[in-house]
């Protein structure tokens, strides 16, 4: 985490500034019924991307701000996940940690815990930025609902960051790890945005971790702990599966 502190700091600053910038425009849209009527006239696929009612705090934050967070957080998680093992191996920085009297599986678990911690830090920054800026820019949101929505986005990104970490540990190929982790995460965001228009995707939407963050309106309805727990455990399972492969393969110095 100390090696990644500067990257984490700049991502946190960027997310905070992005949040404040978007919420600063909300007073111009607040209570605008004409905008709500316009959004209702759009096709359902476009409403799924932009939100149904941008004139309310929940509609604006969910449609304009949080709709981008799966992509941003997934990119961060995949980049960090691939860098923690495969990236350091490619740079020749993994030789010293592996020379210590520490099992490789323990090293991998420690890196996974660091990745999860960094994502939770970004999630906390996102939550505080939205909640505080909402008080300033006339977009107050219930803290409990907002925390649940942010948790869905954060743990959803953890799943794809853990996938990148696992692939990097199993293969030592950082490019492959970040490509698969980020590509799958972003691809599932796109699929979820059009799921309502395709019957097969709609029937299988429960398998998509972004369904609960993007389509279940977590700012308006209570968040179930089930998808949170599933994402957390699936990410841990991916790392656990990769541990034996990381332990057996030859690591480049």
Taken as a whole, the chain contains a residue count of 253
Helix residue ranges per DSSP H, 100-251? 104-136, 143-171, 174-194, 199-203, 211-214, 225-248
Of 122 and 198, the one with more pLDDT: 122
pLDDT the model gives residue 139: 87
Read off the pLDDT of residues 70-93 as tens digits, 9 standing for 90 and up: 999 999 999 999 999 999 999 888
Reduced to 3 states (helix: H, G, I; strand: E, B; else coil), residue 239 is helix
Read off the pLDDT of residues 238-252 as tens digits, 9 standing for 90 and up: 999 999 999 999 887
Half-sphere exposure of 198 (CA within 13 A, CB side): 10
Read off the pLDDT of residues 2-14 as tens digits, 9 standing for 90 and up: 888 999 999 999 9
Which token pair is 52?
A: 């149904």
Read off the pLDDT of residues 134-186 as tens digits, 9 standing for 90 and up: 999 988 999 999 999 999 999 999 999 999 999 999 999 999 999 999 999 99
Cβ of 41: how many Cβ atoms within 10 Å?
Answer: 9
Average pLDDT over residues 213-240: 92
What is the overall mean pLDDT for the chain? 89
Report d(CA 52, CA 68) in Å as an integer: 16
Q: Percent of the chain scored above 70 by pLDDT?
A: 91
Question: Do 109 and 162 meet the contact criterion of CB atoms below 8 Å apart?
Answer: no
pLDDT the model gives residue 39: 59
């Amino acid at each position: 985490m100390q090696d990644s502190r500067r990257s984490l700091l700049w991502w946190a600053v960027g997310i905070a500034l992005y949040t404040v910038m978007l919420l600063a425009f909300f007073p111009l849209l607040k209570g605008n019924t004409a905008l709500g009527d316009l959004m209702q006239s759009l096709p359902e696929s476009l409403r799924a991307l932009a939100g149904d009612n941008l004139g309310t705090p929940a509609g604006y934050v969910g449609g304009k701000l949080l709709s981008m967070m799966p992509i941003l957080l997934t990119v961060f998680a995949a980049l960090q996940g691939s860098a923690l093992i495969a990236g350091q191996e490619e740079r020749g920085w993994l030789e010293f940690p592996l020379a210590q009297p520490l099992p490789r599986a323990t090293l991998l678990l420690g890196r996974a815990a660091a990745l999860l911690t960094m994502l939770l830090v970004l999630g906390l920054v996102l939550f505080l930025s939205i909640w505080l800026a909402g008080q300033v820019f006339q977009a107050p949101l219930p803290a409990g609902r907002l925390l649940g929505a942010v948790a869905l986005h954060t743990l959803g990104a953890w799943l794809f960051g853990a996938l990148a970490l696992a692939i990097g540990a199993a293969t030592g190929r950082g490019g492959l790890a970040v490509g698969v982790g980020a590509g799958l995460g972003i691809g599932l965001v796109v699929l979820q945005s059009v799921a309502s228009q395709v019957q097969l995707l709609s029937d299988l939407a429960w398998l998509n971790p972004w369904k609960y963050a993007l389509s279940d309106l977590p700012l308006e309805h209570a968040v179930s702990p089930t998808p949170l727990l599933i994402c957390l455990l699936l990410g841990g399972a991916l790392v656990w599966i990769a541990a034996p492969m990381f332990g057996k393969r030859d690591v480049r110095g």
